[in-house]
């Protein structure tokens, strides 16, 4: 027999309590919740924490005027609805004590033990540290909290309970403060609740954030939902009865619940679909909970025989669960009078997990296999957070990675061996490569999608079979940062580039210093470690490499460093006199990231060149007549003498302008000449037509040197349709 129901055990247990209960009622509620699952001894420890917190916060009031202790008690109530252990409930009661009272973390540790103290510390802000601004402080607070969370998931569960109660009691604050807290909740806390599978908490945080960020929109949509509910009541009731009768005929026992989209969800859909409220048809839906997995698919078949399914609107999250462990069948059907509505079908265990998420570990003390899998998935996600935390150079970068990682839309792709990888929507083959392993990402050369060759920037879709082709000589390219979306890929690419650039800068700085030392008639090998140690100490740096990097970036002048080193060498007369000019640095054109060829003038072997030290990018090579450096030539300390290596083997980019007659086949002839001349076209663009019979082509071509370029231009001039060719020496 099918039966209708408005809640089940999980709904009742996790349904959020109304805020602002009188203090005595809050305490009574907490007592009832604790007695449901904890021993008397554990409850006594919790009330000891309550008495300590009450005494510490004595005389403090919240903005709304109520005694401050009402807040930690409410947080403890929400945490107890997750069935968290006694240490977590104690931490919930004590979470503001270190922050807002004279009590210290040491006091908490002595009184309640190291476990409670660690949880409280993970929840406390970094108020004792001075930050440059509020944004930096906020980023660092998130970084600290999520580091603690990656070591113990209870930290974030208590923090979500804390944030939920703060959001429920936000009204007394000023509008600007309300909006700031709500934006933070919308950006970070609601997505974390969603990522951990806490569906009710996620929806309430999302709705409360929407209410304060866009109050007018929230009120308008809420009123529209109420009005629509009345208009469609008869259709909903008729659909509910039809589903109930059909399931009874099929002898499927089920709980059927009417479901309504929340205002924030409707608003998001209106934005995504570029529609108004009247065009959103699936505001109402039904949730059907059956006994086991097999009955989920039986129920789906029964409903598809009752109402026609809408093509492309079926999702099987049972076969491929969401990253937060969520499992359910989603189908959208044409109901009575052509009104579409969504139905979610799930088993009882799936429903428990859908409502409780990662809290199911505490909430349901059973050996459910899927609970274990969810814990493993959560642990993997937390480990990834820990990895990103280690790799990120600052708090802002970590926060950027976190926001990307919390992006809810996902795709599912397959490895050559059939393993499923869940990735954010918009992920590329490079994102997949780093998801497989960092080594695979760092050595990726090309990819195959569904057995066909594809570029590394190709975007993946659900169901793709992906294979990464690697090579030992391949390495991450800075351009990858323009299209990767996963935090792991982004952080690993940046980590590699930072280390590669540092290595290149050390080599360049060493070369520049050696030239300066030779000018003082000092052999670089004669500079012993003790002399370097003295200079490192004088400069207040960590290592010799840091000095060499500073030289390469122009933060220190190589001659001055050489002078100080040679001055340290006791009794050396050679240091007193400089008798020859500094050597020049030879350029191959294929050095590392520390030496770059300027894109404004595209120098090639044979061009007279100058080296300009940029403190952020290293040594930049320009042609001597580049217009882009005209104003910088006065800054003599930033210029370095450079020359080309006699026979560099690399190819170099050159910019050419071609004035051609507008006729079919011109481009084909140009390409043919390029191929015959052993040159490559890297980029081509055409200026917008002016109505004349001529067009201006802009080419970036790759040549070996100036002689090769001259031969290429000579061959291009043989094409009768080319009226004029000139090399662009500066784009400024």
What is the set of active-site residues? 99-100
CB neighbours (10 Å) of residue 612?
A: 21
| CB of 410 closer than 8 Å to CB of 422 | yes
CA 18 to chain centre: 34
Nearest to 50 by CA among 27, 80, 25: 27
Spell out the alpha helix ranges (H) of 520-543.
529-539
How far is it, in rounded angstroms, from Cα 367 to Cα 578? 80
Nearest to 319 by CA among 290, 350, 351, 288: 350
How far is it, in rounded angstroms, from Cα 173 to Cα 632? 53
CA 334 to chain centre: 38
Q: Which residues contact 166 (CB under 8 A, 6 or more apart)?
A: 71, 181
Beta strands in 564-693 (DSSP E): 585-587, 595-597, 609-614, 618-623, 639-640, 642-644, 652-661, 680-686
Phi, psi of 280 (to 5 degrees): -85, 105
| CB of 648 closer than 8 Å to CB of 665 | no
Strand arrangement, sheet containing 609-614? 595-597, 618-623, 609-614, 639-640
Spell out the alpha helix ranges (H) of 82-189.
86-94, 97-100, 105-112, 114-123, 134-151, 154-168, 175-184
CA distances for 554 relative to 527, 611, 630, 730, angstroms:
22, 11, 19, 24
3-state secondary structure (DSSP) of residue 461: coil
How far is it, in rounded angstroms, from Cα 585 to Cα 516? 11
Phi-psi group of 515: left, alpha or beta (phi > 0 → left; psi -120 to 50 → alpha; rest → beta): alpha
| CB of 116 closer than 8 Å to CB of 94 | yes
| CB of 34 closer than 8 Å to CB of 81 | no
Spell out the alpha helix ranges (H) of 520-528.
none
How far is it, in rounded angstroms, from Cα 531 to Cα 545? 14
Q: Which residues contact 174 (CB under 8 A, 6 or more apart)?
A: none
How far is it, in rounded angstroms, from Cα 146 to Cα 387? 12
How far is it, in rounded angstroms, from Cα 355 to Cα 196? 10
Q: Report helix angle 40-56 to 105-112, nearest 10.
A: 150
| Helix (H) or strand (E) run with residue 28 in it | helix 23-35
């Amino acid at each position: 027999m099918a039966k209708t129901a408005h809640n089940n055990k999980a709904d009742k247990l996790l349904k959020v309590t109304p805020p602002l209960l009188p203090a005595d009622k809050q305490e009574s509620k907490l007592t009832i919740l604790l007695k449901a699952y904890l021993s008397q001894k554990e409850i006594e420890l919790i009330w000891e924490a309550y008495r300590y917190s009450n005494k510490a916060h004595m005389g403090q009031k919240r903005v709304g005027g109520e005694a401050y202790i009402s807040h930690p008690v409410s947080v403890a109530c929400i945490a107890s609805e997750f069935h968290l252990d006694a240490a977590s409930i104690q931490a919930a009661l004590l979470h503001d004590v270190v922050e807002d009272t004279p009590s210290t973390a040491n006091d908490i540790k002595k009184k309640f033990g190291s476990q409670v103290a660690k949880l409280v510390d993970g929840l406390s802000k970094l108020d004792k540290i001075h930050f440059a601004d509020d944004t930096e402080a906020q980023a660092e607070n998130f970084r600290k909290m999520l580091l603690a969370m990656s070591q113990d998931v209870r930290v974030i569960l208590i923090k979500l309970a804390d944030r939920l109660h703060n959001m429920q009691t936000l009204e007394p604050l000023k509008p600007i403060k309300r909006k700031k807290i709500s934006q933070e909740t919308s950006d970070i806390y609601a997505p974390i609740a969603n990522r951990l599978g806490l569906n009710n908490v996620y929806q309430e945080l999302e709705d409360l954030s929407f209410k304060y960020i866009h109050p007018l929109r929230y009120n308008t949509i809420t009123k529209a939902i109420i009005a629509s509910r009345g208009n469609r009541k008869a259709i909903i009731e008729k659909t509910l009865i039809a589903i109930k009768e059909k399931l009874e005929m099929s002898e499927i026992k089920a709980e059927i619940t009417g479901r309504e989209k929340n205002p924030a969800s409707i608003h998001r859909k209106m934005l995504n679909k570029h529609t108004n409220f009247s065009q959103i048809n699936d505001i109402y839906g039904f949730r059907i909970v059956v006994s086991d997995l097999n009955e989920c698919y039986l129920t789906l078949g029964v409903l598809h025989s009752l109402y026609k399914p809408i093509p492309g609107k079926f999702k099987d999250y049972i076969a491929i669960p969401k990253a937060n462990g969520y499992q359910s069948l989603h189908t959208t059907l044409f109901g009575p009078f052509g009104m579409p509505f969504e139905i979610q079908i799930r088993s009882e265990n799936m429903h428990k997990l859908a409502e409780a998420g990662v809290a199911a570990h505490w909430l349901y003390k059973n050996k459910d296999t899927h609970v274990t899998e969810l814990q493993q998935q959560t642990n993997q996600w937390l480990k990834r957070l820990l990895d990103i935390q280690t790799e990120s150079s600052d708090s802002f970068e970590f926060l950027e990675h976190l926001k990307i990682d919390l992006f809810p839309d996902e795709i599912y792709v397959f490895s050559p061996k059939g393993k499923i990888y869940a990735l954010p929507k918009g992920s590329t083959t490079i994102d997949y490569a780093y998801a497989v392993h960092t080594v695979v990402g760092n050595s990726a050369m090309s990819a195959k999608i569904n057995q066909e060759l594809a570029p590394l920037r190709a975007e993946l879709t659900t169901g793709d079979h992906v294979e990464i082709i690697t090579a030992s000589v391949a390495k991450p390219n800075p351009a990858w940062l323009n299209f990767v979306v996963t935090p792991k890929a982004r952080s690993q690419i940046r980590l590699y580039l930072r280390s590669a650039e540092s290595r290149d800068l050390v080599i360049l700085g060493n070369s520049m210093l050696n030239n300066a030392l030779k000018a003082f008639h000092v052999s670089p090998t004669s500079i012993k470690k003790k002399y370097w140690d003295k200079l490192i100490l004088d400069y207040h740096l960590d290592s010799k490499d840091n000095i060499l990097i500073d030289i390469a970036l122009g933060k220190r002048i190589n001659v001055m460093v050489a002078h100080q080193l040679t001055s340290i060498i006791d009794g050396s007369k050679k240091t007193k006199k400089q008798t020859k000019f500094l050597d020049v640095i030879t350029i191959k054109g294929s050095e590392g990231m520390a030496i770059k060829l300027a894109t404004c003038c595209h120098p090639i072997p044979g061009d007279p060149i100058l080296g300009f030290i940029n403190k952020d990018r290293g040594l930049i090579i320009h042609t001597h007549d580049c217009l882009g450096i005209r104003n910088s030539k006065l800054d003599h300390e930033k210029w370095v003498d450079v020359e080309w290596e006699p026979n560099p083997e690399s190819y170099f980019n050159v910019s050419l302008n071609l004035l051609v007659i507008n006729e079919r086949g011109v481009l084909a002839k140009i390409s043919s000449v390029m191929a015959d001349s052993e040159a490559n076209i890297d980029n081509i663009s055409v200026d917008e037509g002016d109505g004349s019979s001529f067009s201006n082509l802009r080419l970036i071509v790759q040549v070996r040197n100036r002689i090769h370029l001259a031969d290429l231009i000579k061959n291009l001039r043989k094409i009768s349709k080319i009226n004029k060719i000139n090399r662009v020496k500066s784009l400024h």
